[in-house]
Amino acid sequence: MWKILKGACLTALGCIFSLGYSPQGIRTVEFTRREMTRVAALLLAGMLVSCGGGGGDGSSSSGNNSNSNSNSSTPASAPGRFEETNVAVSFGPGWTQSPPDWFAWSGGTAVQSTVPEAQVTFTFTGTSVAWIGYRSVSGGIARVSVDGVFVSEVDLFAQPEEIHTPAFTVNGLSPGSHTLTIEVANHKNPDALSNLVLVDAFDVPAPVVSHLQETDPDVSFTGVWAQADSNIAWSGGGVFTAPDPPVGGARVSETNGAKATLTFRGTAISWSGARRPNTGIARVYLDGVVANTTEVDTYSPTHRIQDIVFTATGLADASHTLTIEATGRKNDLSTGAQIVVDAFDVTTPGRRFQEEDVAVAYTGAWVYGNRNRTWSEGTISESHTPGASVTFTFTGTSVSWIGCRKLSTGTARVILDDRPPVEIDTYLAPAPPGTLAVGTEAYQTTIFRADGLAANRTHTLKIVNTGSGSYTVIDAFDVRP
């Protein structure tokens, strides 16, 4: 059975090419047995629905949610997160429960479909909304509409497997009630193993969140830490592009006193780790003080990968530190005391504009739609041509360029309005071979930020590639009113 499964997955995968950082543009992909099994489980769930299996009469007890009366939804009026089980969410036929025994879905559950034209609707009150979904090599294409008007196709194909991720965000709606519709398309990315579309939750209003990896230079480790098992679908793990080193995944420690500290600016912070049969107890410090509860028990009898282990909200919009400390202790039921540091989500005020927004204009040679890392909403634009530029036009008192720092990125000139240009070097040296030094790769990271801008006037931020063959990455722009 394993040989059949492996052969089928590899045949479907074929030769995957992408817009990577190497001169050849070839992305290196490694599928482990566990990853293939997980993809197969997701595909099987979709196949059962497509073929009429896997459920009796379509009731929730059979694993399907077939409430086709979208008019029966109760609008979500208060701000916050709304799970797919909320009364404001309605499903047509063709949806099934996602496998519950691996990923830590928001609220514990999610639904998925591979059936073309299968629809889900979310009725809400607000001016923006974010659909929380799932990106992977099995990700399909969804058609998104608002109030019955088609908005965009969303390609969920990506190399890293990412949950709790904003699949698509809608901003600038008029105040009042709206309906967001997600429909499975009848086509997919040619590199995708399936046309899987997953709905996990919705956020109203859409928050500005940067998903930072444990390799970010703002994360420091002290004590004994090791690279986590590469066969597990950690955030950002499992992919690399030559000549970049095969880094990413997660760090793990069960040594008392070992610490991981993130320095960040934001109003909320979440630590993404794991709850497993062999994970232990951690202390969490926010700005040097033990946060919320003194200790966090990460034990779970089942595997909960990419789990949001700890969250702090209501912070001042200022610089903070989050420290995670292994205690070497565990729940009596756990077989180990491991603490996993996988990623962090930092929330900031304002609005995020993706790199393909109409307010972003490109000049010169750019490559669009790179999907090989944990980019904001799945894609970036990139250029290694000196003189290639991008101009972002906005209104607000603060602006941030969200980009990438790594071995293959280089220098850029930043010009804000009529201010003097600023030269920024985004190059980040890799860790020495055989070490776990920090500062290897940074994604969704703030490259440049300017505050104190005049309100109620139009500003322009221009970024020019000045490197000799090095890349400039445009992931998004954050603006505060």
The listed range with the strongest mean pLDDT (29-43, 123-137, 231-245) is: 123-137
Spatial contact of 5 and 13, defined as CB atoms under 8 Å apart: no
DSSP string covering 17-79: ----SSTT-PPEE---HHHHHHHHHHHHHHHHHHTT-S-SSS-GGGTB-----GGGPPPB-SS
Report the residue count for the chain.
481
pLDDT band, residue 54 (cuts 50/70/90): very low
Convert the pLDDT of each residue in 110-145 to its tens digit.
Answer: 999 999 999 999 999 999 999 999 999 999 999 999
Q: Which two tokens stand for residue 264?
A: 């960040």
Spatial contact of 279 and 300, defined as CB atoms under 8 Å apart: yes
Determine which of 27-36, 87-96, 235-244, 368-377 has the lowest per-residue pLDDT on average. 27-36
Distance separating the N- and C-terminal Cα atoms of the chain: 56
DSSP string covering 248-315: -S-EEE-STT-EEEEEEEESEEEEEEEEBTTB-EEEEEETTEEEEEEEEE-B-SS-EEEEEEEEE-S-
* Residue 91 β-bridge partners: 120
Determine which of 275-279, 370-374, 430-434, 471-475 has the lowest per-residue pLDDT on average. 430-434
Residues 6+ apart with CB under 8 A from 398: 350, 449, 450, 451, 452, 453, 478, 479, 480
Spatial contact of 446 and 208, defined as CB atoms under 8 Å apart: no
pLDDT band, residue 27 (cuts 50/70/90): very low
Q: Which domains does the chain have, with CATH numbers?
A: 28-206 (2.60.120.260), 211-348 (2.60.120.260), 351-480 (2.60.120.260)
* Residues of the chain above pLDDT 70, percent: 80
Question: What average pLDDT does the segment 91-115 reach?
Answer: 95
Spatial contact of 393 and 359, defined as CB atoms under 8 Å apart: yes
DSSP string covering 420-447: PPEEEE-B-PPPPTT---S-S-EEEEEE
The residue type at 75: P
The pLDDT value recorded for residue 6 is: 35
Q: What's the distance, CA 431 to chain centroid?
A: 24
- For residues 347 and 135, give the distance between their C-alpha atoms in angstroms, rounded to a whole number: 20
The pLDDT value recorded for residue 363 is: 98
Question: What average pLDDT does the segment 76-87 reach?
Answer: 91
The residue type at 179: T
